[in-house]
Amino acid sequence: MAKLTWHGHSCFTLETDDGARILFDPFLDENPVADIRAREIERLDWILVSHGHFDHFADCIPLAKRTGATVVSTFELVSFCQAKGVEKGHGMNIGGGHQFPFGRVKLTPAVHTGSIAGDDEGAFTTDPCGFLLTLNSGQRLYHCGDSALIMDMQLLQGQVDVALLPIGDNFTMDPQDAALAVGYIKPRVVIPMHYNTWELIAQDPAEFRRLVGDRAHVEVLEPGGSYVF
């Protein structure tokens, strides 16, 4: 069984059946709702980053340097990390996939804005993305990133067991659009993310559950909470 732990906002740790430790969108030290700080992470194998905005990328470079984890993201964002001293990175592009030791990762489209926190010269352009993981054990996980609702999500139908979707509004989908996304993707389970970090993106996940209805099981986690699948 794979274990998925939410650290607040869009940051999750995934522990796979074969022992890989994967961190999505590392935002811990300045995340007001995070259950842990970056220094508490002792072992990490992979860091998957959907885009370079501060609230998804802030702890990526320090964690990658300290743990030796490989950063997986768009080619430009990985190049930026390597320019800042990260030793191991794997750059990809949207629509492409790659077989990693823990399973296959495909970069999915995400409609959002793109910049890289710390790129003061603006030398590295980047496009946001999402991630579709097919683990060696067969579980299929979709981390949407900060995407708006897009028709491309319909292409994921039948390919996702667990979907991680933002519901915070203002910067991402609101609960209504996220519920529509559930209808497009048809996952077995959906976990809401990117909400209640700040007042600006405050939402009631119970309302999201009501909007989803019987289209999927809605698993609401508190920071530090886990879901096993």
169-195 pLDDT, tens digit per residue, is: 999 999 999 999 999 999 999 999 999
C-beta separation of 48 from 23 below 8 A: yes
41-88 pLDDT, tens digit per residue, is: 999 999 999 999 999 999 999 999 999 999 999 999 999 999 999 999
85-105 pLDDT, tens digit per residue, is: 999 999 999 999 999 999 999
C-beta separation of 166 from 195 below 8 A: yes
d(CA 27, CA 15): 18
DSSP codes of every residue in 117-175: TT-TT-------EEEEEEETTS-EEEE-TTPPP-GGGGGGTTS-SEEEEE---SSS--H
Tally Cβ neighbours within 10 Å of residue 147. 24
Signed CA dihedral, 192, 198, 201, 207: sign only: positive
Determine phi and psi for 6, rounding to 5 degrees.
-90, 130
C-beta separation of 192 from 219 below 8 A: no
189-207 pLDDT, tens digit per residue, is: 999 999 999 999 999 999 9
* Closest listed residue to residue 107, CA positions, set 97, 120, 118: 97
> Does 123 have pLDDT greater than 60?
no
208-221 pLDDT, tens digit per residue, is: 999 999 999 999 99
d(CA 35, CA 37): 7
Domains and CATH numbers, the chain: 3-224 (3.60.15.10)
